[in-house]
Structure 1
Amino acid sequence: MSSDEDFSIVINGDTDTMEGIQEQIVKYKEQHRLVLQEQQDLATGVYKVKDLELQFQRRTNILRQALEEDDASHAKTVENETMRLASLRRDEVRLKEEIDAALEQQSQLDKDNYHLRQQTAVSTAVPEKRVVFTGVTGNDAKTQSFEMKPHVVYPMEGGTALITFEDEKVARKILEMKEHKVELGECTITLEAKPVQVLVPSLVEMDTQICPHRVLVSSLPSKLRGEVLLDKLELHFSKGKNGGGEVEATDMLHDSGNVVITFVNGHVAKGLTDQQQHDVNFGKKEKKHKVKVTPFLNGKITHFQTRVSECSHTVLLAGVPAVMEQENLQDLLEIHFQKSSNGGGEVDAFLYNPLGQHSLALFQEECPIKD
């Protein structure tokens, strides 16, 4: 473009006079001022826009940071709630297991309670047994016990002998001497005295329950025993009119004198024990005798402990050679230990087991045993 096109002045008035020119100058100055004012306003607007932009940027950063913190807090909350939910589920599983265990325990308690009720029923219907005070007092610390009859089998090695003295002090003296020289005619043998130790029960726990097929009959007539008594009982209790039924077996308990009757059917025993007292005819000339019918208990050992105890009256003699016949040697040894000059005393029992043989010695209730 030419300079004429860049700058053009349009004079709408009289420009030939000085007043017209001045008027135009004033007009252009006003236009210039307006342009400068507009530029200043634009600059101010740009500044304000930039300031608003900065403020918006700051607010955006703050909001972004707050959002990130909220996201982190929400994630932490979700994690905590997830962990809490997992813990609650574990607690739920544990509580369910505890409930199942409690239900199982309750079931076992119900069974035990039923068992105890049965035991109570039995304890109130046990056979009567006469007792008498003998003048001997017991130790309260040992009241938790029950009567047992020892029946201990003791294996003997060959070349040994068992000797039981009447006096416990004699047995203790023989043990203290340890070695004993015994003259057997032309020869002398040396024996070693050792204590006899046996295993005896120290704790026995039993689980018992009422047998549905058996009853225990007590209070029987003292004049009638053996097969005749069993036949009379079987005849009476096999009849339905007496509350009985088909009898499978009758057994005499010789230690107590009572009788166990076994029925084929399981419902018979319960009816007989509920009545307890029964009148039985044991002979034509005799009037009926009243017997007592009580439940019969089946039992099994659930816990058994033993302890080693020393027999206080019995001594084991070891190292017995086979120098003569068994009977002759046993007699000579017994004579030797009966003499007080040899430290012995009165002998209650003597058993010799020769070399090359194995014997089993039976210790029963008569054998005093000390802990």
Structure 2
Amino acid sequence: MSSEEDFSLVVDDTQPSEDSLEGIKAMIAKFKKQHEELLNEQKHIADCKDVVRGCAQQFRVRTKKLTESLKRDKDDYEVQVANEKAKLASLMEEEVELKEQAEKLAAALKEEKAEYVLLKEQTEVFTAVPERRVVFKGVTGEVDGSQFEMESSIVYPMDGGTALITFDEEVVAKKILSLRTHQVNLGEECRITVEARPVRLMMPSLVEIESKACPRRILISNLPKMDTEFLLNKLEIHFSKTKNGGGEVEDREFLPDSGTVVLTFLSGDFARGLVDREYHEVMLHPDKSHRVRVTPFLNGNITNLQTKMLTCPRTLLLTGIPDFMEADTLQDLLEIHFQKSSNGGGEVTAFFYNALGQKTSALFKSVAEKEEE
């Protein structure tokens, strides 16, 4: 095989020569065809551009609408958030006000309960009318026998950390009460705050008692002074005997305030006969009898009790007093403070301090229509 290869040039005789008229016409036809194809392609591109422009326009319109809608939603959301914040702030303020009102109501309820307990204690004292000693002092006049006048004696329970103060003048007490809270200087950089409150007492205005003779009890009076137990034994022995008109004794009691004795029988068949006889000779000594008097024992039931509230015009209650120094010293400092006119005070006629941890009852008596501690 030879290293050099022979090539032969093959000429297509079917294609006209470019230099020939036919060749030029063929080229022109070819270029026309290419031109038409380009025009068609250009038209297709233009149509596509129009479609893209339409889509873009539609997209811009939709984008604008969405933007405006989002802005409106955002504005509405911000307005709603602002309204909710305002509502929340209003609710929080209302909650604070309600808490304050609840605290005030709780404090008022506590004060009312304390006053109720105090009034209840006073009522229990009033309903137990004490026995009074009556002494004739030479005064006579027309009186209603159905009524019995008593001097008022009222027990006022005091809590710890309080004090009662009585001023000489009502106007001073009113001034101290109107100021309500008072800053009391107790020495070197030592100051306390106390509160002045009115003292209200519940007093009986009318007491009606229905008395009835007890069928099993007798009251023995006109007794000599002697040993109480010996006296009770002698009386029980005497009045338990049938020949003396008595019977079995269930109980006996000596009343020291009147010097009398109450005997209670098991049966109600003996008291009436002994009372009718009235005077009895009892052997209280071995060789000598003593004449005693037997009268009915009266049971009293309160049928009508009317009360009224009295506000002491000159006496006030001081509360909130801490216990941090000697009671006598603290009482003196408090009394000095309220005696000074510069503090709104005046002349003090009575002062009593009850320290924390103690419970004391103050006694009020009506003397010339003025309260007295």
TM-score, normalised via structure 1 length:
0.51
Residue 327 of structure 1 and its aligned partner are, at CA, apart by 5.2
* Distance verdict in 2 for CA 1:282–1:201, change over 3 Å: same
Contact 2:158-2:362 at 8 Å conserved across structures:
no
Contact 1:155-1:358 at 8 Å conserved across structures:
no
Residue 288 of structure 1 and its aligned partner are, at CA, apart by 2.2
Gaps of at least 5 residues in structure 1 are 1-128
Question: For 1:8-67, what per-residue CA distance to the aligned partner results, in whole angstroms no more than 9, with x for missing partners?
Answer: xxxxxxxxxxxxxxxxxxxxxxxxxxxxxxxxxxxxxxxxxxxxxxxxxxxxxxxxxxxx
Partners of 1:214 and 1:139 in 2: how far apart? Answer: 34
Gaps of at least 5 residues in structure 2 are 1-132
* Distance verdict in 2 for CA 1:148–1:331, change over 3 Å: same
Q: Secondary structure at the match of 2:223?
A: coil
Partners of 2:141 and 2:183 in 1: how far apart? Answer: 43
Partner of 1:133: 137
* Distance verdict in 2 for CA 1:291–1:297, change over 3 Å: same
Question: For 1:119-176, what per-residue CA distance to the aligned partner results, in whole angstroms no more than 9, with x for missing partners?
Answer: xxxxxxxxxx9843255x7896x8763255756443434532124x5xxx62636513
Partner of 1:268: 270
Contact 1:153-1:360 at 8 Å conserved across structures:
no
Partners of 1:265 and 1:340 in 2: how far apart? Answer: 70
Partners of 1:139 and 1:171 in 2: how far apart? Answer: 36
Partner of 1:257: 259
Partners of 1:139 and 1:329 in 2: how far apart? Answer: 52
Residue 276 of structure 1 and its aligned partner are, at CA, apart by 0.7
Partner of 2:170: 172
The residue correspondences of 1:1-371 to structure 2 (distance < 5 A) are: 131-134=135-138, 145-148=147-150, 152-163=154-165, 170=168, 172=170, 174-178=172-176, 182-186=184-188, 187-221=190-224, 223-284=225-286, 287-311=288-312, 314-326=315-327, 328-333=329-334, 343-347=346-350, 350-354=352-356, 357=357, 359=359, 361-363=361-363, 365=365
Partners of 1:256 and 1:191 in 2: how far apart? Answer: 46
Q: Secondary structure at the match of 2:325?
A: coil
Amino acid at match of 1:133: K
Q: Secondary structure at the match of 2:214?
A: strand
Residue 246 of structure 1 and its aligned partner are, at CA, apart by 1.0
TM-score, normalised via structure 2 length:
0.51
Amino acid at match of 1:172: E
Partners of 1:304 and 1:268 in 2: how far apart? Answer: 34
Residue 274 of structure 1 and its aligned partner are, at CA, apart by 0.2
Question: For 1:161-197, what per-residue CA distance to the aligned partner results, in whole angstroms no more than 9, with x for missing partners?
Answer: 124x5xxx62636513415664422234454444421
Question: For 1:243-302, what per-residue CA distance to the aligned partner results, in whole angstroms no more than 9, with x for missing partners?
Answer: 2211111112222222111011111100100011112222236x3222111111223223
Contact 2:156-2:364 at 8 Å conserved across structures:
no
Question: For 1:317-337, what per-residue CA distance to the aligned partner results, in whole angstroms no more than 9, with x for missing partners?
Answer: 234244435454235435666
Q: Secondary structure at the match of 2:168?
A: helix
Amino acid at match of 2:354: Y
